[in-house]
């Protein structure tokens, strides 16, 4: 029977070496080029993995992001808006989607102006 002999050196680095390189770059101890040579990991692979690690860290710190958009309102502001809409509905004031968009925009503008003053 024949014996398989690997023909390329693609992905020949270990998980420990790439994890160490990511940690060194993330902590600022080494640059991409120096870490890729020290841990024998391709530089582009290291850059991609560091970018993914930073994005995961940011998304876990800011809560789960859906899509590429950042939230405008905090949870408290969102609940306040919902309560206001429920209050309007109880009083039989119909509100259209365009009215809701206008209301949300005005709330966002006042929130933005208020936070700029602080």
pLDDT tens for 83-102 read 999 999 999 888 899 999 99
* Average pLDDT of the residues of the chain: 84
The mean pLDDT of 28-38, rounded to a whole number, is 92
Euclidean distance between CA atoms 78 and 85, whole angstroms: 11
Is 70 exceeded by the pLDDT of residue 67? no
Is 80 exceeded by the pLDDT of residue 118? no
Is 90 exceeded by the pLDDT of residue 56? no
Is 80 exceeded by the pLDDT of residue 113? no
Q: Measuring CA to CA, how many Å separate 4 from each of 7, 10, 12?
A: 9, 16, 16
Beta-carbon contacts of residue 32 (< 8 Å; ≥ 6 apart): 25, 43, 46, 47, 50
Euclidean distance between CA atoms 9 and 11, whole angstroms: 6
Please provide the distance, in angstroms rounded to a whole number, between the alpha carbons at the two ends of the chain.
Answer: 76
pLDDT at 32 (0 to 100): 94
The mean pLDDT of 42-69, rounded to a whole number, is 79
pLDDT band at 49 (very low <50, low <70, confident <90, very high): very high
């Amino acid at each position: 029977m024949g014996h398989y002999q690997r023909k390329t050196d693609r992905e020949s680095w270990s998980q420990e070496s790439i994890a160490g390189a990511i940690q060194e770059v993330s902590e600022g101890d080494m640059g991409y080029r120096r870490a890729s040579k020290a841990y024998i990991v391709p530089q582009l692979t290291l850059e991609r993995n560091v970018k993914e690690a930073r994005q995961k860290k940011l998304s876990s710190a800011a809560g789960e992001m859906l899509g590429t958009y950042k939230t405008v309102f905090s949870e408290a502001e969102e609940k306040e808006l919902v309560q206001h809409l429920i209050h309007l509905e109880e009083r039989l004031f119909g509100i259209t989607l365009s009215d809701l968009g206008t209301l949300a925009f005005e709330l966002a503008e006042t929130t933005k102006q208020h936070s700029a003053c602080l």
